[in-house]
Structures are given as C-alpha cells and as structure tokens.
Amino acid sequence: MNEAILMSASAKDIDFMVHGLYKFELFGQEVWITTSHVCIAIVMLVLVVFSVIANRKLAHAAEVPDTFQNVLELMVEKLSGIVESNMGSHAPKFTNYICTIFVFILVSNISGLFGLRPPTADYGTTFALAVITFVLIHVTKWRNQSFKTIWTDMCSPLPPWLPLWLPINLISEIAVPISLSLRLFANVLSGTVMMALVYGLLAKIAIIWPAALHVYFDLFSGAIQTYVFCMLTMTYITQSYGDEE
C-alpha cells in the first residue's frame, strides 16, 4: 500500500521554489517581482497594522493594563531585556534595530504556518539583513576604534609591521555576513523543503499529523534561528566596540 501511495505522487507535485510573477526592465536588466516580494509585503502589512493598533492603544495607556496592553508590555520588556543583557551600556542605541529585525524574522519564519512561502527562505532577504548587520558592525568599529587599533587587530597573531596575516583576517571579516545569512536561509529553506516533500509525496496520508512537523519546523526552528540571528548580531556589534572600557 505504501508503495502505491509513493508511486502515485511524482516529482512535479513538489513545489517549494520561488516563482516569478511579473517582469519588467530596469536599466536594461530583467527584474522580476517574485512570490518572495509578495510574502514580504504581506508580512510587512501585518506588522505595520499591528504597530499602528499598538500605538493607538498605548497613546491612551491605562494605569491598570488590560490584556492587549499587557501582551505589548511583555513583548517590549522581553525584547529590550535580551538586548540589555547582551550589549550592556551600548544597548539603548541598538534596541530599535535588534527588536525590528527580531519581529520581522520571527513573523517571516512563522508565516509558513499561514500558507505563505517564508520570505526568509529566499537568499535575497537574508543576505540583505546580513548586509545591514555587516554595515552596522563596521560603522561602529570605525567610529569607536582608531585606525591603528584596527590595523593591529587585522594583523593580529603577527606584529603590525608584518601584515602577512591580513588577507586571512579580511576573509574572515567577509565570511561574517555570508555565514550569518546562509545559516538563517538554509534553516528556513530546509523546513520549507521538508514540508513541501511531506505534502507533495505523501499527499494522500498527510492528515493532521503534519501539524507536529509544522510545530517543529516553523515554530521551534524559526524561533531559535531568529534568536540566534539577533544574538550573533548583538555579539558582533558589541565586539566591534573594542575593549577600551
């Protein structure tokens, strides 16, 4: 019986790719609007609507909070608590950024539950996020450390007048955004592919039990990866302040 079920499905039932929806020309380049863009737009719409409602609510915040206000306060407290405990005195500058990417990545990862293709399962999205982090790291670094310190740091195992180690350190700097983005991308993509395989190949017996897989791949894995992305971002930024204090 199992064989019959497996035979009845074919590779063309499996679908987890990004699809192009609309094509236009920009400076002689073909540019596609894909399903990822649509999913990002939906995620952003949800977040914007939520923020506006939350803002309205907190404009007339009550002394004794009701349920919704409680949830909001809990969220903000937890998020800024995480940032506070990781970045210490540098926290206030970066709380906004970290909380924003946290909420965005979390909702993106979880959007697989609502039938969207998670936007973070597209390398373009995660790479953009990682590039923002990379720029932040380096802006912070050049603002807070002198050129001499950075140069010594870049030649680090050898003395600064012998920059033999410089290329290797440069590669390890460039590896930061790549590994940061690939980690998030591959985790979310593997979840998406697994769910596509389950629904594509086992379509006839995929009743109710895939919910357990959704809990693992979408909720658990998504939340962990969100946390890890933000933690690493905070760690790198804190590191880039140097150890002058």
Partner 1 sequence: MNITGEDLILACSAIGAGLAVIAGIGPGIGQGIAAGHGASAVGRNPGAQGKIMATMLLGQAVAETTGLYGLLIAMLLLFVKPLIG
Q: Where on the chain is the footprint of partner 1 (CB under 8 A)? A: 17, 179, 182-183, 186-187, 189-190, 193, 224-225, 227-228, 231-232, 235
Query: Measured from the CB atom, is 189 or 198 closer to partner 1?
Result: 189
Query: Measured from the CB atom, is 102 or 145 closer to partner 1?
Result: 102
H or E element in which residue 30 lies: strand 29-34
The DSSP secondary-structure symbol of 117 reads: P
Structural tokens at position 6: 């497996």
CA separation for the pair 151, 178 (Å, rounded): 23
Query: Measured from the CB atom, is 123 or 151 closer to partner 1?
Result: 123
CA angle 97, 101, 103 (to 5 degrees): 120
H or E element in which residue 100 lies: helix 91-110
Query: Measured from the CB atom, is 18 or 44 closer to partner 1?
Result: 18
Q: At its nearest, how many Å lie between partner 1 and the CB of residue 64?
A: 29
CA separation for the pair 218, 120 (Å, rounded): 12
Q: At its nearest, how many Å lie between partner 1 and the CB of residue 12?
A: 13
Q: At its nearest, how many Å lie between partner 1 and the CB of residue 183?
A: 5
Q: At its nearest, how many Å lie between partner 1 and the CB of residue 82?
A: 9
- Residue type for position 67: T
Query: Measured from the CB atom, is 61 or 224 closer to partner 1?
Result: 224
Asked whether the beta carbons of 240 and 144 are under 8 A apart, the reply is yes
Q: At its nearest, how many Å lie between partner 1 and the CB of residue 27?
A: 26
CA separation for the pair 96, 81 (Å, rounded): 12
